[in-house]
């Protein structure tokens, strides 16, 4: 099936690694124009060059920098933005007694600014598109909190709630808003945790133990590409009647039925 993404323009935050990078590559493969950002110029450079790709060093918490990133991205591709993937971010492995005021402030700032800054910067362009779609990359934690990730779980729940409000608020402008809720996906986040754990296990054995410990029905971590395909499906004009919903991409780790 032709997803209808070719020649359209998509902004993906945090495209230098993991899910964001897989999404950038999948969109380029579909013939779309893509703009992406990250904080580290070297990591962005490693994506490689492509005539339909532009990159910028930009921290999603900085509203002015995000506005300039989105403006210059739209300018590079004929003054349009058809979709936005709010992906940049990370989680915080902390229990209540380990958290500080700064942990709570930083967590909420990153999660909320990571959605609101790009959205506000892209809003006028999205409203002008005939097939505008926003995808917020979230986590199953939003629906199924874990005490070992207490700040991230709470912030994720807030973002899922916000996504629903945004889908209602922006529907009259023709902008759809949906979420993908990730379980455990094999990306930089997990390679960093494997290194920090210093368990003596190979990365493969450590992952297998992790999958068993967390009760992942499919018995393995997900691959970034598997998330990217779900994101592309929601970005596609073919998903024109889907808004205000979330898709779990989690290998069955989610226990809820909603
Ligand atoms: N992997 C999982 O198991 C999992 C599970 C649930 C949810 N998620 C969420 O899915 C998203 C993608 O995660 P991932 O696993 O693909 O992570 P990743 O491999 O660590 O990639 C994160 C990307 O975001 C960028 N980034 C981080 N903070 C940023 C900021 N403040 N401003 C701009 N860019 C920023 C990073 O580049 P720089 O560091 O250079 O800025 C990188 O490109 C994140 O929001 C994450 O929390 C992941």
Mean pLDDT by 10 residues, the chain (258 residues): 97 98 98 98 97 98 98 98 98 97 98 98 98 98 97 98 98 98 93 90 92 94 98 98 98 85
**According to the model, what pLDDT value does residue 14 have?**
98
Q: What would the 3-class secondary structure string for 27-42 be?
A: HHHCCCEEEEEECCHH
- Model-level pTM greater than 0.75? yes
Q: Are residues 81 and 17 in the same domain?
A: yes
Q: Are residues 131 and 202 in the same domain?
A: no
Q: Give yes or no for a contact between 224 and 22, defined as CB atoms under 8 angstroms apart.
A: yes
Residue ranges making up the domain that contains 194: 185-220
Which residue lies with its CA nearest to atom 28 of ligand 1?
Answer: 89
Q: Are residues 216 and 229 in the same domain?
A: no
Contacts of 182 by beta carbon, 8 Å cutoff, 6+ apart: 19, 137, 138, 139, 140, 222, 227, 249, 250
55 part of a folded domain: yes
Ligand 1 lining (C-beta closer than 6 Å) = 13-20, 37-40, 43, 59-61, 87-91, 110, 137, 139, 182, 184-185, 187-189
Q: At 130, which CATH number?
A: 3.40.50.720
Our count of domains for the chain comes to 2
Which residue lies with its CA nearest to atom 21 of ligand 1?
Answer: 17
CB-count exposure of residue 76 (10 Å: 0-12, 13-18, 19+): middle
Q: Are residues 166 and 213 in the same domain?
A: no
Give residue 61 CA to ligand 1 midpoint distance, Å.
13
* Mutate which of 11, 17, 191 for ligand 1 pocket (most atoms within 8 A of beta carbon): 17
Q: Are residues 162 and 191 in the same domain?
A: no
d(CA 154, CA 148): 12
């Amino acid at each position: 099936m032709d997803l209808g993404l070719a020649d359209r323009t998509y902004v993906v935050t945090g495209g230098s690694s993991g899910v964001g990078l897989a999404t950038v590559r999948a969109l380029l493969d579909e013939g779309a124009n893509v703009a992406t950002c990250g904080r580290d110029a070297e990591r962005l450079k490693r994506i490689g060059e492509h005539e339909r790709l532009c990159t910028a060093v930009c921290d999603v918490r900085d509203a002015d920098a995000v506005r300039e990133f989105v403006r210059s991205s739209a300018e590079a591709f004929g003054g349009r933005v058809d979709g936005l993937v709010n992906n940049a971010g990370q989680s915080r492995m902390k229990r209540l007694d380990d958290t500080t005021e700064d942990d709570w402030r930083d967590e909420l700032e990153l999660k909320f600014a990571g959605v609101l800054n790009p959205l506000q910067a892209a809003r006028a362009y999205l409203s002008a598109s005939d097939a505008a779609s926003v995808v917020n990359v979230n986590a199953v934690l939003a629906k199924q909190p874990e005490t070992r990730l207490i700040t991230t779980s709470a912030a994720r729940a807030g973002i899922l709630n916000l996504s629903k409000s945004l889908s209602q608020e922006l529907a009259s402008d023709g902008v759809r808003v949906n979420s993908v809720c990730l379980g455990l996906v094999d990306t930089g986040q997990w390679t960093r945790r494997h290194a920090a754990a210093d368990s003596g296990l190979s990365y493969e054995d450590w992952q297998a133990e992790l999958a068993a410990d967390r009760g992942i029905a499919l018995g393995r971590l997900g691959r970034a590409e598997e998330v990217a395909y779900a994101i592309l499906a929601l970005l596609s004009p073919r998903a024109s009647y889907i808004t205000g919903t979330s898709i779990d991409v989690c290998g069955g780790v989610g226990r809820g039925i909603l």
